[in-house]
Structure 1
């Protein structure tokens, strides 16, 4: 296939053939972009990348032009699937075509490995995420999503839900990690978000998801003092709201789950309200969360509570 005219002079080279120092200017610009556009301190995520690259445990490519490295993308295999962890091209060289060149290289590499059947990614800074043509279109699905934000001071005016007394809310405790994984897997059964992230489909997958939230900084630093568990009158865990800090003064709700049999009774609202109040008490000026647009029930709840859309992006899944 002939490369588009705007890609003349670009080369794609395996990440393993590059020195990590070559990526530093790209990582620095990307961190600034996350801070300026998303109010997110991305430096922790950059640090997570370093050992993966140094150990050669990721598959990835760099984009070169004018004798310089100007972009990169990498994916982490978790057979039978693979996660595209990042893709970024310097602003001076960025175009939809340049990004697609990297994305296609990673996907081609993944699909050469028969034990990898599925690829997932959510790339917040990608150009035209909802309109762009995806490589390997025959395997691709696109899920429009939104990053929503609120000033947590607004939570101080939100009333306690009339049904809140039915439940006992406690701060997060790792003693309930296995039960929390069960709540997540149960809440997402036959749900669109289980199509986006297959970890939601099983308790073991949800447990891996939880471990990543608690241990790694890709979604911020976990904040147990603003994260809540909800128990019913029989002391059964029935819901949770988990929060991380993506900057010292910005919180991010990483997970809200309520088991189906108690959904629609105000528990999700009350969990979020409590977390917003707690985050405000920590001195935060903003709280964000992400939602799949097809999840209209959640979107409507967040909007009623005062969240507004800050950015639109997409989750992509390729499955063969």
Structure 2
């Protein structure tokens, strides 16, 4: 029985986490959840944003799944999510996106994955004012060979293992010749190791245009931290929004799967929350754990539920979180 750290988060995190637990129990998934929390609620109760017990749980179990976490403004870390990624060197941010039945979008054949470098780039948070008057400021963008090689390798391995014949690397090397230039050069080096996979190179601004004109042609995208952050949300918008966007932060020894949307405090506790993002993230977690049969069973039940027209209000439906969860359970094999 594999133990998994469950981090409910804030706001609707409690409701969608409860949905996840009920579905896993009904599907008889051989895991045990160990609940620890972080964020605004924990801070207000204990004065700590991340309690030591959460670190201990993650380090003991090596795998976690979390709901949306709110970082209090002006308190502690700039972002709890960014802090956990850096602390555990979760260098791969994996964001798959695809069309789901019953969710209308402008496009019909999107099925792609974005690999975003998760620990470097401009999100290292090294900023300073250049003068006492604070009229000018600079931020450091750090790109390393090590960081670039491992995220690009992850993207190519995913393509190889899933029979995908092209990887698209996104950059701004025409302007940022040292940082983005290094990333692009490394992508070219690594691509030589994969004879049957084409490397496509696109500048970030062109990539944005391509994604809103012909997104169906992309399957695997790999890029740096800031670009990946922006593109991941853009692509989520193409398939229905952050409410249907799974996410994972994966390192060599620890992985944290997550719902990437906000905590939605305006609807918290009202049984309106859409648990799909967390549920889809849990499917990726089961694949990571090599529990593929359980992943397929839950995935099929979700797709059947959506095909039957069962949706929460944010997706144009009218059923509650509880009803949506019960429908999925009913559709399990």
What is the TM-score normalised by the length of structure 1? 0.30
Which is richer in strand?
1
What is the TM-score normalised by the length of structure 2? 0.29
